[in-house]
Chain A
Amino acid sequence: MRYLLLIPIAVVFAFPFYWMVVTSLNEPNQLYQFPPVLWPHWAWSNYIEAWNEVPWPRFYLNTIVVAGATTLLVLATSALAGYAFAAMSFAGKSLIFGFVVAIYMVPNEVTLVPNYITLTHLQWLDSYQAQIVPFGASVFGIFLFRQFFMTLPRDLWDAAQLDGCTHLRYLWTVALPLARPVIVTVALFHFVLGWNAFLWPLIVTSTDRYRPLQVALAGFNITDNHQPMLLAAGALMTTLPILVLFLFAQRQLVGGIAATGIRG
């Protein structure tokens, strides 16, 4: 009974992805037909044509650099801050933590104009750092690391301290290796976020040298509006890495996202 509902729903949700594949593998004479042709005709040449139209390798490199560096930066800043909030004592700790959580309320859109002005002054427009540094700290990351580090037994730290271990060394050699699930969740979440980023890179990049895949694809959409098979090929090329990542790490990704919701 449930399947009678679930199977059509799943098909509806998955169909646009199938359609991406079909469209990318058909010739124009199959595409400009009504009703549409529902299966691919294996026109692989579309991919070669789409690939040669714009410098895709450059865009891939840009996206990987930006998403990768942002992820590493977020991991570093979040692990340090999360550890401080969980395991260190200093004046105003809970006040500062409340403040950090409140920051979650500020939508990115509100800070677009001021941040653009800041980057202009730093002369960072059209660069990698313009796409990385503003997203280098994550309230979500700090929160997850803090929650995890709070579960570590106090004795572990006391014992390490007796052996002359510093906080930084303890964090690096004991706490972080134990925090692997959190690292994976935060890393996946921010890598996907970086890969999919659109509005901010659209504003701060102006040349192919630093433009990421998503902005390039949107530009491709405007210039190549009349060749759906090339667009679909481009769309699939930018989607495939994330789709593969998602299928392999579904549990962690979904779990991480659910974690944000459990205690809203």
Chain B
Amino acid sequence: MGVREAFAVGAATSGYVRRLEGRALEGYLFMAPALILLLAFVVLPAIWVLVLSLYRWDLISSDATPIGLANYQRMANDSLWWKSLWQTCYFVAVTVTVGTLLALGLALLLNSRIRGRSLFRAAVFAPYVTPAVATIVIWEWIFNHDYGLLNSVLAVFHLPKVAWLTDSSAIMPSVILYSLWATVGFNVVIFLAGLANIPPDLEEAARVDGANSWQVFRRVTWPLLSPTTYFVLLISSIGSFKVFNVVYVLTEGDAGVTGGPDRAAMTIGVYLYKQAFEFFRAGYASAISVALFAIILAVTLLQMRIASRRVFYR
């Protein structure tokens, strides 16, 4: 290669490289606004919360005291923390299993050419999009002991009145009942999307081969739906671990005690809020945040592990 050609190639590549660099810079510039916001308000805080959990700080005074793992030791001995954790697990277990089954049933009922399908879907989905505080406020009245709608339904069946909000054994079921009403529509929509992805000829072929409805569901629909079921389980358990609004609005008020009678509806989300923004224990609240994050991460990984063996992808 002569000198001239070498120069030409060199010039061409450097021009190419410069152009590539210019393009790369442009790409980074396009991403920058979103990335900077995500870094500043999600990624760095998620790391920072780990550091904060090693300090004692009241959010107001200028200096924070490093106290090592004392916040975690405190958690280990905090009976209200363990109570919140246990009650949150109970809430998650019930809402996720009942919510998923209910949603699957509803989606199967709705997955056909019936008249008014979109109307039914709208009725089930509306609670999910409407503001939670507004619907919780109405449910508070429905749960009312003396004049509530729920107790009058019980009266129709000659059942005794239940103190839905003031009895420590009834408050968690009330919270669960509201949450199922409010969130099942989301799962129904996801299941309907999943069902729409199943080619109808597969189910038809099974039917031609003499399978009854249950067999078609068990052998064809259910396995093909498993990625959707997995997604619903994952999303609803993550959402349920963070439950806050319904407990806060139902129990804050003239009942006076957030978390309900005997704190029987105290959950991790509400406990975290109380510690951080009512008692101003930034360090301890951060330790609780870390625990919540760890739990959600563990549940996600566990479900991913199970899914890798059980979920059937076509």
The residues of A with any CB-CB pair to B shorter than 8 Å are 2-3, 5-6, 9-10, 13-17, 19-20, 23, 31-36, 76-78, 80-81, 83-85, 88-91, 93, 96, 100, 103, 105-118, 120, 133-137, 139, 142, 167, 192, 195-196, 198-199, 203, 213-215, 217-218, 221-222, 225-226, 228, 231-232, 234-236, 238-239, 242-243, 246-247, 250, 253-254, 257-259, 261-262, 264
Residue of A whose beta carbon sits closest to that of B311: A264
Main secondary structure of the interface of A (DSSP, over half): helix
Of A13, A113, A231, A253, the residue contacting B137 (CB under 8 A) is A231
Neighbouring A residues of B148 by C-beta, 8 Å: 36
Interface 9-residue window, one of B7-15, B189-197, B198-206, B215-223: B189-197
- The reply to whether B138 and A235 contact each other, CB–CB distance below 8 Å, is yes
- The reply to whether A107 and B296 contact each other, CB–CB distance below 8 Å, is yes
Interface 9-residue window, one of B43-51, B77-85, B92-100, B168-176: B43-51
Can you list 8 A-B pairs with a CB-CB distance of less than 8 A?
A: A17-B130, A34-B146, A96-B35, A113-B285, A142-B34, A214-B131, A221-B140, A238-B134
Of A17, A199, A262, the residue contacting B273 (CB under 8 A) is A199
- The reply to whether B228 and A261 contact each other, CB–CB distance below 8 Å, is yes
Question: How many of chain B's residues have a CB under 8 angstroms from any CB in A?
Answer: 102
Neighbouring B residues of A264 by C-beta, 8 Å: 227-228, 230-231, 234-235
- The reply to whether A31 and B147 contact each other, CB–CB distance below 8 Å, is yes
Within 8 A of A (CB), among B229-287: 230-232, 234-235, 238, 241-242, 244-245, 248-249, 252-254, 269, 272-273, 276-277, 282, 285-286
- The reply to whether B31 and A242 contact each other, CB–CB distance below 8 Å, is no
Of B106, B273, B293, the residue contacting A106 (CB under 8 A) is B293
The residues of B with any CB-CB pair to A shorter than 8 Å are 20, 23-28, 30-31, 33-35, 37-38, 40-46, 48-49, 52, 59, 106, 109-110, 112, 114, 118-127, 129-135, 137-142, 144, 146-149, 151-152, 155, 181, 185-186, 189-190, 192-194, 197, 227-228, 230-232, 234-235, 238, 241-242, 244-245, 248-249, 252-254, 269, 272-273, 276-277, 282, 285-286, 289-290, 292-293, 296-297, 300
Neighbouring A residues of B292 by C-beta, 8 Å: 107, 109-110
- The reply to whether B140 and A199 contact each other, CB–CB distance below 8 Å, is no
Bound-complex Cα distance A81 to B252 (A): 41
Neighbouring B residues of A14 by C-beta, 8 Å: 123, 126
What's the minimum C-beta distance from A134 to chain B, rounded to whole angstroms?
Answer: 4
- The reply to whether A106 and B34 contact each other, CB–CB distance below 8 Å, is no
Residue of A whose beta carbon sits closest to that of B128: A257
Main secondary structure of the interface of B (DSSP, over half): helix
Given contacts A198-B132, A261-B190, is CB(A228)–CB(B30) below 8 Å?
A: no
- The reply to whether A214 and B141 contact each other, CB–CB distance below 8 Å, is no
What's the minimum C-beta distance from A7 to chain B, rounded to whole angstroms?
Answer: 8
- The reply to whether B132 and A196 contact each other, CB–CB distance below 8 Å, is yes
- The reply to whether A91 and B114 contact each other, CB–CB distance below 8 Å, is no
- The reply to whether B118 and A250 contact each other, CB–CB distance below 8 Å, is yes
- The reply to whether B122 and A261 contact each other, CB–CB distance below 8 Å, is no
- The reply to whether B42 and A106 contact each other, CB–CB distance below 8 Å, is yes
- The reply to whether B137 and A232 contact each other, CB–CB distance below 8 Å, is yes
Neighbouring B residues of A222 by C-beta, 8 Å: 252-254
- The reply to whether B52 and A114 contact each other, CB–CB distance below 8 Å, is yes
Of A32, A81, A254, the residue contacting B35 (CB under 8 A) is A81
Residue of A whose beta carbon sits closest to that of B249: A218
Neighbouring A residues of B189 by C-beta, 8 Å: 254, 257-258, 261
Given contacts A103-B38, A218-B249, A239-B134, is CB(A118)–CB(B31) below 8 Å?
A: no
Given contacts A115-B41, A239-B130, is CB(A261)–CB(B34) below 8 Å?
A: no
Neighbouring B residues of A235 by C-beta, 8 Å: 133-135, 137-138
Given contacts A100-B38, A109-B244, A117-B59, is CB(A246)–CB(B197) below 8 Å?
A: no
Neighbouring B residues of A213 by C-beta, 8 Å: 131
Residue of A whose beta carbon sits closest to that of B129: A246
- The reply to whether B135 and A192 contact each other, CB–CB distance below 8 Å, is no
Of B34, B129, B238, the residue contacting A77 (CB under 8 A) is B34
Bound-complex Cα distance A94 to B205 (A): 41
Of B31, B232, B286, the residue contacting A85 (CB under 8 A) is B31
Question: 18 new A-B pairs (CB below 8 Å) besides A13-B126, A16-B127, A32-B147?
Answer: A6-B120, A13-B127, A78-B34, A88-B30, A103-B43, A107-B242, A111-B42, A111-B49, A114-B46, A114-B286, A116-B277, A136-B33, A198-B244, A232-B137, A239-B131, A261-B194, A264-B231, A264-B235
Neighbouring B residues of A116 by C-beta, 8 Å: 59, 276-277
Residue of B whose beta carbon sits closest to that of A231: B137
